[in-house]
Amino acid sequence: MSFVSSLLAQMTLKEKIGQMSQFNNDDDEKLENSVKNDDVGSVINEVNIDVINELQRLATQESRLGIPLLIGRDVIHGFNTIFPIPLGQAATWSPELVETCANIAAIESSNSGINWTFAPMIDISRDPRWGRIAESLGEDPYLCSVLGSAMVNGFQGENLSDKNSIAACAKHFAGYGASESGRDYNTTNIPENEFRNVYLPPFKALADAGVSTFMASFSDLNGVPVTGNSWLLNDVLREEWKYPGPVVSDWGSIPQLVTHGFCVDEESAAFEACQAGVDIEMASDTYAKNLPLLIKNNKVSLEQIDTMVNRILLLKFDLGLFDTPFTESTLLEEKLNSNHLNVAKQVATKSCVLLKNSKQTLPLSKAKISSLAVIGPLADDGYEQLGTWVFDAKPSQSITCLNAIKKHVGDSVDVSFSKGLETSRSINQEGFNDARQIALSADVALMILGEEAILSGEAHCRSNIDLPGCQEQLINAIYETGTPIVLVIMAGRPITLEKVLPKVDAVLFAWHPGTMGGPAITELLFGETCPSGKLPVTFPRNVGQIPLYYSQKNTGRPASDATFVDINDIKVRAPQTSLGMTCAHLDTHFSPLFPFGFGLSYTQFEYKNIKVNKHLVNIGENVEITVTISNVGNFDSEEVVQLYIRDLVGSVTRPVKELKGFQRVYLPAGQSEKIVFTVHTDELAFYNRQMKLKTEAGLFNVWIGSNSDTELKTEFEVVIQQD
Ligand code: NOJ
What is the Cα Rg of the chain in Å? 27
118 lines ligand 1 (CB under 6 A): yes
> Which atom of ligand 1 is the closest one to the Cα of 172?
5
Q: What does the pLDDT look like over 78-87, one tens digit per residue?
A: 999 999 999 9
What is the DSSP secondary-structure string of 24-91? E-S-HHHHHHHHHTT--SEEES---HHHHHHHHHIIIIISSS-PPPEEEE---SBSSSBPPPHHHHHT
CA distance 478 to 402: 18
Q: What does the pLDDT look like over 160-169, one tens digit per residue?
A: 999 999 999 9
Query: Residue 140: inside a domain, yes or no?
Result: yes
Q: Which residues are catalytic?
A: 250
Same domain? For 495 and 400 the reply is yes
CA distance 218 to 118: 14
Q: What is the CATH number of the domain that holds 77?
A: 3.20.20.300
Query: Residue 590: inside a domain, yes or no?
Result: no
Query: Residue 531: inside a domain, yes or no?
Result: no
Q: What is the CATH number of the domain that holds 644?
A: 2.60.40.10
Among 473, 507, 525, the domain-final residue is 525
Same domain? For 240 and 116 the reply is yes
Same domain? For 319 and 356 the reply is no
123 lines ligand 1 (CB under 6 A): no
What is the amino acid identity at position 217? S
Among protein residues, the one whose CA lies closest to atom 11 of ligand 1 = 74
Among 495, 525, 555, the domain-final residue is 525
Query: Residue 534: inside a domain, yes or no?
Result: no
Q: How many CB atoms lie within 10 A of CB 581?
A: 11
Same domain? For 131 and 86 the reply is yes
Q: Is the pTM of this model over 0.75?
A: yes
Percent of residues, the chain, with pLDDT higher than 70: 99
Task: Give the C-alpha distances (Å, rounded to integers) separating 252 from 37, 218, 273, 384.
Answer: 22, 9, 12, 29
CA distance 436 to 505: 17
Task: Give the C-alpha distances (Å, rounded to integers) separating 112 from 52, 53, 75, 165.
Answer: 8, 9, 12, 12
Among protein residues, the one whose CA lies closest to atom 3 of ligand 1 = 250
Question: What is the CA(40)–ligand 1 centre distance, in A?
Answer: 19
Apex CA 346: angle with CA 114 and CA 528, to 5°? Answer: 160
- The mean pLDDT of 174-200, rounded to a whole number, is 98
251 lines ligand 1 (CB under 6 A): yes
Q: Is the pLDDT of residue 392 over 70?
A: yes
Same domain? For 437 and 304 the reply is no
Same domain? For 347 and 311 the reply is no
Question: What is the CA(68)–ligand 1 centre distance, in A?
Answer: 23
Query: Residue 538: inside a domain, yes or no?
Result: no
267 lines ligand 1 (CB under 6 A): no
Q: pLDDT value at position 698? A: 98
Query: Residue 536: inside a domain, yes or no?
Result: no
Question: What is the CA(23)–ligand 1 centre distance, in A?
Answer: 13
Q: pLDDT value at position 32? A: 95
- The mean pLDDT of 192-199, rounded to a whole number, is 98
Same domain? For 615 and 520 the reply is no
Q: Is the pLDDT of residue 654 over 80?
A: yes
Same domain? For 235 and 282 the reply is yes
709 lines ligand 1 (CB under 6 A): no
In this structure, of 88-102, 118-132, 268-282, 328-342, the range with the lowest mean pLDDT score is: 328-342
Same domain? For 185 and 126 the reply is yes
Among 262, 296, 331, the domain-final residue is 331
Q: What is the CATH number of the domain that holds 388?
A: 3.40.50.1700
Question: What is the CA(310)–ligand 1 centre distance, in A?
Answer: 24
Same domain? For 270 and 408 the reply is no
Q: What does the pLDDT look like over 439-448, one tens digit per residue?
A: 999 999 999 9
- The rounded mean pLDDT for the chain is 97
Q: Is the pLDDT of residue 63 over 90?
A: yes
Query: Residue 581: inside a domain, yes or no?
Result: no
> Which atom of ligand 1 is the closest one to the Cα of 217?
3
- The mean pLDDT of 608-621, rounded to a whole number, is 98
Same domain? For 168 and 45 the reply is yes
pLDDT confidence band for 333 (50 / 70 / 90): low
Q: pLDDT value at position 332? A: 67
Question: What is the CA(217)–ligand 1 centre distance, in A?
Answer: 9
What is the amino acid identity at position 413? V
- The mean pLDDT of 587-606, rounded to a whole number, is 98
Among protein residues, the one whose CA lies closest to atom 8 of ligand 1 = 251
Question: What is the CA(141)–ligand 1 centre distance, in A?
Answer: 22
171 lines ligand 1 (CB under 6 A): yes
CA distance 132 to 459: 7
pLDDT confidence band for 578 (50 / 70 / 90): confident
Query: Residue 580: inside a domain, yes or no?
Result: no
Same domain? For 479 and 438 the reply is yes
> Which atom of ligand 1 is the closest one to the Cα of 176?
3
135 lines ligand 1 (CB under 6 A): no
Q: Is the pLDDT of residue 722 over 80?
A: no
> Which atom of ligand 1 is the closest one to the Cα of 118?
7
User: To which H or E segment does residue 437 belong?
Assistant: helix 432-440
Q: What does the pLDDT look like over 477-510, one tens digit per residue?
A: 999 999 999 999 999 999 999 999 999 999 999 9
> Which atom of ligand 1 is the closest one to the Cα of 169?
7
Q: pLDDT value at position 1? A: 85
Q: Which domain holds residue 669?
A: 605-719
Apex CA 105: angle with CA 122 and CA 326, to 5°? Answer: 115
Secondary structure of residue 23 in the 3-state scheme:
strand
How many domains does the chain divide into?
Answer: 3
